[in-house]
Amino acid sequence: MKFTLVLCVLACALAIAHGATQYTSKFDGFDVDMVLANKRILQNYIKCLNDKGPCTNEGRELKKLLPDALASDCSKCTEVQKKNSQKVVEHLRKNTPADFDNLLKKYDPKGAYRAKHGL
């Protein structure tokens, strides 16, 4: 029994330590291309992020992590997350610039991300 308790405590400590250095990868298999190709679904995610609509599990996770990811220049992102976030940024800038600007106003009110990336 004590051995099981020690293993649980150790597992929790490792999870906390890992979480501090990198975001969860549980959504790395999420099909970003499918969302970007479907205007209705993309708008649902944008509404979620702007507090104007319901969120999926992925949307809630993104909404929670987005401020830190922008502030830290995605330093805790997995490689998949970095690639996907760049893809989303480029898509929004090109295809829905008003939505992109609204998201930046909400999640980057001081303009730090914009300044780093020349936006």
pLDDT in tens, 74-117: 899 999 999 998 999 999 999 999 999 999 999 888 888 777 77
Secondary structure of residue 7 in the 3-state scheme? helix
Q: Where are the domains of the chain?
A: 49-119
Instruction: Output the CA–CA distances (angstroms, integers) from residue 67 to 20, 33, 44, 49, 109, in the order listed.
Output: 15, 23, 19, 11, 10
Does residue 9 surpass a pLDDT of 80? no
Q: Which residues contact 16 (CB under 8 A, 6 or more apart)?
A: none
pTM: 0.75
Of 26, 34, 27, 58, residue with least CA distance to 45: 58
In this prediction, residue 14 carries a pLDDT of: 40
Tracing tokens 């780093």 back to the chain, one arrives at: 116
CATH of 49-119, one of 1.10.2080.10, 3.30.420.10, 1.20.140.10, 3.20.20.100: 1.10.2080.10
Question: Token pair for residue 43?
Answer: 């708008």
DSSP state of 109: T
Q: How do residues 10-63 score in pLDDT, each as one tens digit?
A: 344 344 444 458 888 887 888 999 999 999 999 999 999 999 999 998 899 889
